[in-house]
Amino acid sequence: MFVIVLAPHVIAMKLMIGTLFVQCLTIVFR
C-alpha cells in the first residue's frame, strides 16, 4: 500500500528535478 501512496510523489519529484535539469542545461547551452 505504501508504494501506491508514494508513487505519485516520487513521479512528481522526478518531473520537478527533470524540468530543473532541463532549464539548467538550456541556460548553460544558450
pLDDT, tens digit, 9 for 90 and up, residues 3-25: 667 788 888 999 999 999 999 99
3-class state of residue 1 by DSSP: coil
3-class state of residue 4 by DSSP: helix
Domain ranges of the chain: 1-29
Q: What is the pLDDT of residue 16?
A: 95
pLDDT range class, residue 29, cuts 50, 70, 90? confident
DSSP code string of 5-30: HHHHHHHHHHHHHHHHHHHHHHHHT-
Report the alpha-carbon distance of residue 8 to residue 1 in Å, rounded. Answer: 13
With vertex at residue 5, the alpha carbon angle to CA 3 and CA 22, rounded to the nearest 5 degrees, is 85
Q: What is the pLDDT of residue 6?
A: 75
